[in-house]
């Protein structure tokens, strides 16, 4: 199975900040990387698919990049509604696997 490791596990930030979350796969996943946002009591919501494609309806302050084993999610200009937990997920090979999550908290 492909292991997905996110860093950091949590971070504190303020509204307006630019933040970056990193996801590393245990082997190359060739851009088959998705990012999700989850709020308490809700299902995850896809933000980015195929490493850098923005899901329809997702604000442009969210962006994704990376290749091979290393990928990043960037939020440029953090908004109050962005405080949540973020997960990466590989869709390169079964079983699909997720990172352990990064909780973005208010500083």
Partner 1 sequence: QVQLQQSGPGLVKPSQTLSLTCAISGDSVSSNIAAWNWIRQSPSRGLEWLGRTYYRSKWYNDYAGSVKSRITINPDTSKNQFSLQLNSVTPEDTAVYFCARDLAIAASGTRLGFDPWGQGTQVTVSS
Residues 86 and 36 sit within 8 Å (Cβ to Cβ): yes
Please give the helix or strand (H or E) that residue 53 lies within, else none: strand 53-54
For the bound state, the minimum distance from the C-beta of residue 24 to partner 1, rounded and expressed in Å, comes to: 16
Question: Near partner 1 by CB under 8 A, which window of 17-25, 37-45, 59-67, 75-83?
Answer: 37-45
| C-alpha to C-alpha distance for 84 and 106, rounded to whole angstroms | 10
Encoding tokens for residue 94? Answer: 């079964």
State phi, psi for 42 to the nearest 5 degrees: -120, 160
Per CB under 8 A, contacts with partner 1 among 49-88 are 49-50, 53, 55, 87
Among 21, 66, 69, 97, the residue binding partner 1 under the rule CB under 8 A is 97
Q: Kindly list the residues in this chain that would bind partner 1 in the complex (CB under 8 A).
A: 1, 32, 34, 36, 42-46, 48-50, 53, 55, 87, 89, 91, 94-98, 100-101
């Amino acid at each position: 199975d492909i292991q997905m490791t996110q860093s950091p596990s949590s971070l504190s930030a303020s509204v307006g900040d630019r933040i970056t979350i990193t996801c590393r796969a245990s082997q190359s996943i060739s851009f088959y990387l998705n990012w999700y946002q989850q709020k308490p009591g809700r299902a995850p919501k896809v933000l980015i698919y195929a490493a850098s494609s923005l899901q329809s309806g997702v604000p442009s302050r969210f962006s994704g990049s990376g290749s091979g084993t290393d990928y990043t999610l960037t939020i440029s200009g953090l908004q109050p509604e962005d405080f949540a937990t973020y997960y990466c997920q590989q869709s390169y090979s079964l079983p699909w696997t997720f990172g352990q999550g990064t909780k973005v908290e208010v500083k």
